[in-house]
Amino acid sequence: MTHTYIDTGIVHRKVRTWSYIVILTEKGGSNVKHVVLHGQTSMDEARRTALEDNTGYRLKAVIPLTERDFEP
């Protein structure tokens, strides 16, 4: 978990950010890919970012990552 600052010109606030793994499937094909995104302010932002960066793919899942996922 990290933080970022959002400045709308009127409001300046600190927001929490997360890391996500997004699973995508190829439209009309058989490829499956995953995208790891850090510094996202919401699951919806992660979904939008992944789909904008990977045209021709459909969303299958958005999964939040936590520190616990990487503990030994």
- Give CA separation, 46 vs 20, 28, 33, 39, 64, in Å: 7, 23, 15, 9, 10
7 found inside a domain: no
pLDDT tier, 16 (very low <50, low <70, confident <90, very high otherwise): confident
Number of domains, the chain: 1
**Distance, CA of 13 to CA of 52 (rounded, Å):** 26
Q: What's the mean per-residue pLDDT of the chain?
A: 90
Can you give the CATH number for the domain in which 25 is found?
3.10.20
Residue 70, classed as helix, strand or coil, is helix
Tokens of 41: 């302010």
9 found inside a domain: no
Q: Please answer whether residues 19 and 34 qualify as being in contact, where contact means their C-beta atoms are separated by less than 8 angstroms.
A: no
pTM above 0.85, yes or no: no
